[in-house]
């Protein structure tokens, strides 16, 4: 089944665009899962931070760790 970006939700499309921007800002050639997760964590009114909080994970700490990991790429 072919990938159809127009069938994604608006928030998902925004996250993919933000992940691409994060990769470009860091002069990285590809978008990794880390870029996408960081983009999801940074979304205003996103669903990922509250989900992480519900399971006892600090989204701010995850974002900081992702940034550090991306800096090493």
Total domain count, the chain: 1
- CA 44-62-71 angle, to 5 degrees, is 100
Output 73 or 70, whichever has higher pLDDT: 70
- Better-predicted residue by pLDDT, 39 or 1: 39
Is 48 part of any domain?
yes
Query: Which pLDDT value is given to residue 1?
Result: 74
pLDDT digits (tens, 9 = 90+) for 23-58: 999 999 999 999 999 999 999 899 999 999 999 999
Q: What is the pLDDT of residue 6?
A: 81
SS3 state at 54:
helix
Q: What is the pLDDT of residue 2?
A: 81
The residue whose two tokens read 């470009």 is 24
- Structural domain including 31 reads 10-71
Domain contains 2: no
């Amino acid at each position: 089944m072919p990938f159809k970006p127009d069938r994604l939700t608006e928030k998902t499309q925004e996250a993919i665009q933000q992940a691409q921007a994060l990769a470009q800002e860091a002069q990285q050639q590809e978008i990794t899962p880390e870029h996408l997760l960081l983009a999801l964590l940074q979304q205003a009114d996103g669903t990922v931070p509250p989900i992480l909080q519900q399971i006892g994970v600090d989204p701010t700490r995850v974002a900081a760790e992702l940034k550090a990991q991306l800096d090493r790429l």
